[in-house]
C-alpha cells in the first residue's frame, strides 16, 4: 500500500528504497509531489524533513505552474481561480466596479472592460502586496536587528526576494501567492541579510 504524507497542506507520495541512503523530494511532470526515503525512515522523521524544505517545494511548484501557464495562459474568465496567500479564489467578471481588480476575501472580481487583465492582476498583487509585506516586515523586524529603509514589490524573475545594499528589501509580487508562513520565512531570510549588511 502506498503511503501518502500530508505536510503543510501538500500531499506527498512516499517511495521507499533499500538502496537509498538520503531523503529527497521531487516534483514529477504532472506536478505530483514524491518523497523519497530509505526503508527505515519513519513518517514522522520524513515529515519533519519535508517541513524544512517547504519553501523549496513551493518554489518548484511555482516554476512548474509558470511553465504550464506559458503553454496555457490564464483566460481571465468567470470560474477561473487565482492564488492569494496560499489559497485559491474564484474569479467573477463584473460590468462595473471602481477598480479593474478587486478582492473581498471570498473571490476576485474583474471588471469586464479591464484590459490587459494580466497587467491589472499584477498591479493588484503589487499594490496589495506592498501594504501587506510592509506590515509583516515591520512585525518580523522586531525579531532581528535589521530595519529596512523601504519595502519594494516588483517582478524579480525567479527570485522571491533580495536585500539591496541601500537597505531596501525587494520582494517578488508572486510571493503573495504563497502561504503566509512561507512568506514570513522569506521576509526573515532577507532581514537576516540586512542585519549582516548593517554589521559591516
Report if residue 127 sits inside a domain: yes
For residues 154 and 111, membership in a common domain is answered with yes
Residue 190: pLDDT above 60? yes
Report if residue 17 sits inside a domain: yes
Counting Cβ atoms within 10 Å, is residue 160 exposed (0-12), middle (13-18) or buried (19+)? Answer: buried
For residues 61 and 100, membership in a common domain is answered with no
Q: In which domain, by residue range, is 157 found?
A: 81-198
Model confidence band, residue 44 (pLDDT cutoffs 50, 70, 90):
very high
Report if residue 76 sits inside a domain: no
pLDDT digits (tens, 9 = 90+) for 77-116: 999 999 999 899 999 999 989 999 999 999 999 999 887 8
Across the range 29-37, mean pLDDT stands at 82
Model confidence band, residue 185 (pLDDT cutoffs 50, 70, 90):
confident
For residues 55 and 108, membership in a common domain is answered with no
For residues 97 and 179, membership in a common domain is answered with yes
Counting Cβ atoms within 10 Å, is residue 140 exposed (0-12), middle (13-18) or buried (19+)? Answer: middle
pLDDT digits (tens, 9 = 90+) for 129-166: 899 999 999 999 988 777 899 999 999 887 888 988 88
Report if residue 94 sits inside a domain: yes
| Domains identified in the chain, total number | 2
Residue 38: pLDDT above 90? yes
CATH number of the domain at 121, please: 3.30.2010
DSSP code for 39: T
For residues 60 and 106, membership in a common domain is answered with no
> Where are the strands (E) in 33-100, listed by range?
33-38, 81-84, 87-94
For residues 35 and 88, membership in a common domain is answered with no
pLDDT at res. 198: 65
pLDDT at res. 127: 93
For residues 66 and 89, membership in a common domain is answered with no
Amino acid at each position: 500500500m502506498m503511503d501518502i504524507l500530508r505536510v503543510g497542506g501538500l500531499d506527498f507520495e512516499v517511495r521507499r528504497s533499500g538502496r537509498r541512503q538520503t531523503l529527497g523530494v521531487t516534483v514529477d511532470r504532472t506536478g505530483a509531489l514524491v518523497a523519497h526515503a530509505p526503508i527505515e525512515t519513519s513518517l514522522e522523521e520524513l515529515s519533519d524533513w519535508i517541513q524544512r524544505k517547504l519553501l523549496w517545494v513551493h518554489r518548484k511548484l511555482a516554476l512548474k505552474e509558470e511553465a504550464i501557464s506559458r503553454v496555457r495562459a490564464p483566460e481571465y474568465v468567470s470560474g477561473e481561480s487565482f492564488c492569494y496567500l496560499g489559497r485559491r479564489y474564484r474569479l467573477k467578471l463584473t460590468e462595473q466596479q471602481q477598480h479593474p481588480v478587486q478582492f473581498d476575501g471570498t473571490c476576485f472580481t474583474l471588471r469586464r472592460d479591464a484590459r490587459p487583465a494580466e497587467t491589472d492582476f499584477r498591479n493588484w498583487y503589487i499594490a496589495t502586496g506592498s501594504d501587506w509585506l510592509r506590515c509583516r516586515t515591520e512585525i518580523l523586524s522586531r525579531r532581528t536587528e535589521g530595519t529596512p529603509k523601504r519595502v519594494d514589490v516588483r517582478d524579480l524573475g525567479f527570485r522571491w526576494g533580495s536585500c539591496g545594499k541601500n537597505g531596501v528589501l525587494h520582494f517578488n509580487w508572486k510571493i503573495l501567492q504563497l502561504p503566509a508562513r512561507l512568506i514570513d520565512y522569506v521576509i526573515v531570510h532577507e532581514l537576516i541579510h540586512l542585519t549582516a549588511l548593517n554589521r559591516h
